[in-house]
Structure formats: structure tokens, C-alpha cells
Structure 1
């Protein structure tokens, strides 16, 4: 299912043609070349015990029954639309639509993605009911060609900008570094 800000939920169909674009700690990103869209699917930690799997199953049920996952994704997309997009600029960002993927659709992706995902990323699984659809900026629209200071070729590159807090407010001056730097240091120490 897909929803915009005011749109009702409607069916979302997985296309046969998709390309694994990459992933980070929180999301897997797939390209849908025919529609020139990016599908971003949230990830959660892979349960390690039977109780962990039971908790994931109950949590998935509650996400579906209460609509919690849909509400969380909508909250994130609202932040993107109202804060990040105006800061970066509408010309360089796209509208985002919320996508609801069924448990069956998630299973299809998980089964197919196994051969593409790096081993160290497989400690996380795809999260049921949390996904978003964006324009794929690896494809430059034809009406933008006239503004480019170079000739177009078949190869294009997209760059993801990930804003991080690299400064310390006065209330955090007692820390040895900014929170982002401390999180990165802790992540390196743990792994």
C-alpha cells in the first residue's frame, strides 16, 4: 500500500524488476528502474532466541493491528517533508510516499536479498509495515539536461547526504566530543 500526506492507503505491487542499491544500519534501499523510484525498507535486529522471535511476531501483530508501524513511518516522513526537504531544497529532493508491505512481500524481498547483502548487515531483518517510496535521483530527468554543464552519458551517480550533529550545545560541553562522535566511537569499540 502507498500513501501520501492526504492519500488513502492503496495497493502497492512489487515489480519483477528491482535492483539492490545498498543499505545502512537502519534501511535497505532498492531501485525500481521502470518507475524510477527508490524503495526504502526499515530494518530491525534479527532475534537470536525463540523468545526474541515470539516478541517480533507479537510486535508485528501489534504494528498491524494498531497501525503503529504506519504511524511511525508517517512521523518520519513528516519530519523529512517539513524540516529536511525545505532545508536541502525541493529541487534536489523528492516527495516521499509511505508504503505498506505485507508480510508476504517482506518475505519475498528477504529471500531474494540474501545473495546481495554483506554478511555483517545480515544481523538485521526487514521490518514489517515500514517502508517509503522516493524518486530515484540516479536517473536525471530529461528536462534537467539543459542545465547540466557536461554531456550526458549512460552513467550517473547519486550522492546521499546524511546530516549529522557535529557540534556541542552548551548543555553538552562537559562531554569530551559531540554526541555523534561519541556514538561513532562507541560503535567502533563494540564491533
Structure 2
């Protein structure tokens, strides 16, 4: 019995007898390179992620995954489960003042507060909020959660917001990660 040869026309290269497809080493490498160019590639999802809303995905032979929250594209979200609790410290601007507060329901909370702009979210609960209030105590208006703008406060907000175009997208990712963690 002769050794198997490559299935590609005009190639007489030897084939590893344990190979799942009769391709010589060179043609197997070309095939693998071609496959990796088409699978495991970051691309636009066919539709937005149902969990976090991202449009960025990774295409694999088994299907698409959201590149942000790794939710399998097309899987249903279990709407019977309550969303996970995600506490955030928020930074709001109203005119020349900054409010530092915390909530587990940012949409409802921010809808109730008069403000011009949401500057940033950072993960954290009341203990993180208290640390921020202590850190910027010199800029605080009395015993409120409102602060004067300062170089230090602006630098902190810039650091928290660095690389984040939309704080709501970041919050959506934290929620989707919480859902993914609970399975």
C-alpha cells in the first residue's frame, strides 16, 4: 500500500497518516491560514447584542459572540430573572458644579436629578462614594453631594472617563457581565 498523497490537483506531497484530511503540510498550513482569516475574526454582528447592545462581535465556526460581553449572538435573554445589581458612582455636571452620587438604578436616579451632562460612571457603592466625597472635601458645598470644579476633581473625572465614549455603554457592559457571571 502506498503512502497517501495530497488531494490537491498536481500536488504529490506526502500526507501525515493521522491527518483528518488528506492534505500535505503546505496545503494544510494554507488551509489553516485561510480559516483563521474567516473564523475568530472581529466584525460587526448581524444585529446588535440583545444583552448589551454592542454591534461588535467575533465570528467563530460555532457562531458569533459579542466582543463586549461575550454573549452568544442569538441566545435569548432570560427576562424572568431580575437584572443583576450593579452599583455605580456617577459624576454629573450642572452648570459649574459636579455631583458625586451612587445608585444601583442609574437611569431612574439620573432622571430625577437636574443636570446638564453625565460625565462618568465608575463601579462602586456607598463606600466608594464616601471616599470620593472625602477626597474632594475642600470643594464640597456644605453637606451636599455637590462640588466646585477643581483641577483635582477634573483630573479624577478625566481618569475615570478615559477611553469611554459613552458611560451608558460601559454600564450596559457591567450589567451584561453580571448576567453572564450568574449563567
TM-score normalised by structure 1 residue count: 0.21
Higher-helix-fraction structure? 1
Q: Bigger relative contact order, structure 1 or 2, given CA contacts below 8 A and separation 6+?
A: 1
